[in-house]
Amino acid sequence: MPPKSKEKPKSAAAAPPPSISIEDLFTSIKRHVDKDEFEQIVKLSDQVLSVAPGDEDALRCKVAALIKCDKIDDALSVIRKVPNDFSYFKAYCLYRQKKLKEAMESLKGLEENFATMLLGSQILFRMGKMDASVDIYRKLQNSNIDALEINVVAGLVSAGKSSEVKGMMDALRVKATSSFRLAYNAACSLIEEHKYTDAEQLLLLSRRMAQETLMDEGLADDKIETKLARISVQLAYVQQLTGNTKEAVQSYTRIIKRNLASEATQAVATNNLIALKGPKDISDSLKKLDKLVKKTGGPGSFQLARGLDLKLSPKQKEALYINRMLLLLHSNKMEQARELVAALPDLCPGSVVPVLLQAAVLVKENKAGKAEEILGQSADKFPDNSRVLHLARAQIAAAGGHPQIAVASLEKIPDIQHMPATVATLVALKERAGDIDGADAVFDSAIRWWSNAMTEENKLSVIMQEAAAFKLKHGRKEEAARLYEEIVKSHGSVEALVGLIQTAAHVDVEKAEAYEKKLKQMPDLKDIDVDSLERTSGAKHAEGGSHMNTATSYEDNNKEKTKKKKRKRKPKYPKGFDPANPGPPPDPERWLPKRERSSFRPKRKDKRIAQIRGSQGAVAKEAGNANSKSSRASSKGVSTGPEPSKPSSKSSKKKSRK
């Protein structure tokens, strides 16, 4: 027998796997960081934390990897569970969750470095505080931060400081063509400066660069078109501003139908298309805007659609609310308009647009006086933007028959008092109010301003000529003559010379005659007899004079000439017609309607139609009368047949009662 095999001794417990040191785990984490494998980093960080709970480096790696994986909620939950101070990561997570105020609070107390400053500038940018954001970017100007120039230019444009973009790019030593994003932002600054041609060229270059860059990255065509949609919308906006509305409408419509753009880009394209349409197709425009501007549960509370509140700039959000408000006014939906205008001050803080729209609603409701009052009060609250409020108040007051209020509003804008349009408006308003002296003072003030102004386009001669005409109109002939004389001496205007002669003829005849000699005679008027001209002026002077004989003889000569020019032509006859045997003449009334021809006989109407329903006596009586007169009745009488007389019917009723 073969020997029995010995059994292997059973181990009491399985052998533990070989332990990995923390150093090796961090080495693996470093290797995955270089490869951007963030899911593996999270797993390895958990292994480190299982061996060394509370390890700060492992926690930091895990939180950063979760943020890179766009797992913001998981990263924030990890931060809140650990006692470590991860205020920067917490602020970034809150920023990504669009909780901007909490994110700004989390940054407070941290040491000021490039990372915290850059995050702070981004948060301020999203909060609409563009000036503060740009100030931080200026401090980071000399730092080596990726894409700093892109953010700086975007901040300057959003802050309304497009004129500083070129200087900032020169200071950063970058060109607009260094990347397609920078080219796009630089083009936006050119649009704000009304340099539309340069902006269009830069946008076309940006689109071409973006297409090449994204194709090199291996993106699909749909994703490339999504990335390029923003540039396409901006190109359509430039076309809209330059008057190429047809091309702009086609571009907007194509982008909206494709539905490949982001939510913010789609909203901007929809808003611009509605603005191009204006009051046309209001119901369709309102339906589109209702998808973007939604009413929440509370009364008078509105908000933008999901994802738009933080992706759109304050200017873009304001445009959405304004267009919806204007459409409501055009469609006479006053209740909804009042509800929206009441919520606008909270939706657009610091803007004067809600005040203007509130005034528009009041004017629509025939409450112009209330609108003037609100605009006047708001002008004191917004001194930096009071100009547009004063202009709106002046327009409403002038249209409402309140010239004094309109004048008072215009006079509160000192930098336009000398402009010809303002001068003309003020003079017309004061003249309407009966303040002739005040209107005259407006002209005098404008003349003094333009006399001392050192500008290329000096309007002194225009103002002086209008002032002279105004003074002459209101009987101030000496002052008018003085102004005309100054214009003639300084500018040599022929119109002013004529005005001077006409005005001086009332005041100083010798001066008028002296200036009259300066008028150039027309070459065609040398041999004209003034006396005969006065006798022949106008069509009413038709008494027998020599000019009448001349006219008639001239007409006779013309008639003779026309008679000589006429040639006799042979008449053209129809085919087969013999002029020697023309036959019976055609009916001369052949072109007249039948009812107008002499041979027309109207059809006889049925006499039974004219019978009257009533008592037998009355019917017999009327029938007899009709028969006796039928031979004498004409066509008109037949058409208007006799009507039964009311007394005869009443008498028959009375007899029946008896």
- Cα gap 251→319, rounded to integer Å: 20
- Whether residue 465 lies inside any domain: the answer is yes
Let me know if residue 275 belongs to a domain: no
| Per-residue pLDDT reduced to its tens digit, 498-531 | 777 777 777 677 777 777 766 766 666 666 666 7
Does residue 587 carry a pLDDT above 50? yes
CA distances from 263 to 155, 234, 399, 405, 646 (A): 21, 15, 42, 46, 81
Q: What is the pLDDT of residues 526-582, one digit of tens each?
A: 666 667 767 765 545 444 444 444 444 444 555 555 555 567 777 787 777 787 887
pLDDT band at 201; cut points 50, 70, 90: very high
3 state SS for 536-552: HCCCCCCCCCHHHHHHH
Predicted confidence (pLDDT) at residue 129 exceeds the cutoff of 70 = yes
Structure tokens at 363: 């004017």
Residue 503 lies in a domain: yes
Contact 407, 430 (CB under 8 A): yes
Q: Is the dihedral of CA 316, 312, 186, 276 positive or negative?
A: negative
What's the pTM?
0.63
Would residue 537 count as lying in a domain? no
All residues at 6 or more sequence positions from 387 whose CB lies less than 8 Å from its CB, including other chains: 413
- Least confident range of 299-313, 376-390, 533-547: 533-547
Structural domains counted in the chain: 1
Q: What is the mean pLDDT of the chain?
A: 79
Once rounded to an integer, what is the mean pLDDT over residues 578-587? 80
Q: What mean pLDDT do residues 438-467 have? A: 85
Amino acid code (one letter) for 390: H
* Angle formed by the axes of helices 646-657 and 616-629, nearest 10°: 150
pLDDT beyond 50 at 648: no
Q: What percent of the chain has pLDDT over 70?
A: 78
Q: How far apart are CA 67 and CA 73, in angstroms?
A: 9
Comparison of pLDDT for 135 and 628, the residue scoring more: 135
Q: How sure is the predictor about 119, in pLDDT bands with cuts at 50, 70 and 90?
A: confident
Neighbours of 129 (CB within 10 A): 17
Q: Which of 161-170, 245-254, 266-275 has the lowest mean pLDDT?
A: 161-170
Q: Is the pLDDT score of 397 beyond 90?
A: yes
255 vs 532 pLDDT, higher one: 255
The two beta strands, 293-295 and 302-304, are antiparallel
pLDDT exceeds cutoff 70 at 650: no
CATH of the domain at 448: 1.25.40
Q: What is the spatial distance between Cα 578 and Cα 347, in angstroms, rounded to a whole number?
A: 93
Q: Are 420 and 463 in contact (CB under 8 A)?
A: yes
Q: Which of 419-423, 480-484, 562-566 has the lowest mean pLDDT?
A: 562-566
- Other C-beta atoms closer than 10 Å to the C-beta of 7 total 6
> Greater confidence, 474 or 241?
241
Segment 331-354 mean pLDDT: 88
The most confident of 96-110, 233-247, 555-569, by mean pLDDT: 233-247
Q: Tell me the per-residue pLDDT of 58-83, one tens digit each, with 9 for 90 and over.
A: 888 988 899 888 888 888 888 888 87
Instruction: Tell me, yes or no, whether 492 lies in a domain.
Output: yes
Closest C-alpha among 92, 84, 44 to residue 68: 92
Q: Which residues pair with 300 in a beta bridge?
A: none
Task: Give the model's pLDDT for residue 398.
Answer: 92
Per-residue pLDDT, 96: 84
Given a cut of 60, whether residue 636 has pLDDT beyond it is no
The three-point CA angle 629-633-634 to 5° equals 175
pLDDT for position 554 = 44
Give domain status of residue 441, yes or no: yes
Quick: pLDDT tens for 11-40.
Answer: 444 444 446 777 888 888 888 888 878 888
489 lies in some domain: yes
Higher-confidence residue: 594 or 397? 397
Residue 450 in any domain: the answer is yes
Q: Which domain holds residue 488?
A: 435-520
User: In this prediction, what percent of the chain has a pLDDT beyond 90?
Assistant: 24
**pLDDT exceeds cutoff 70 at 612:** no
Compute the chain's Rg from CA coordinates: 46
CA 326 remoteness from chain centre = 10
More confident residue, 610 or 461: 461
Q: Count Cβ atoms within 10 A of the Cβ of residue 304 and give its class: 0-12 exposed, 13-18 middle, 19 or more buried.
A: buried
- Check residues 316 and 9 and name the one with the higher pLDDT: 316
To 10 degrees, the CA torsion angle through 188, 191, 196, 201?
A: -10
Dihedral of the CA atoms 303, 309, 314, 320 (nearest 10)? -50
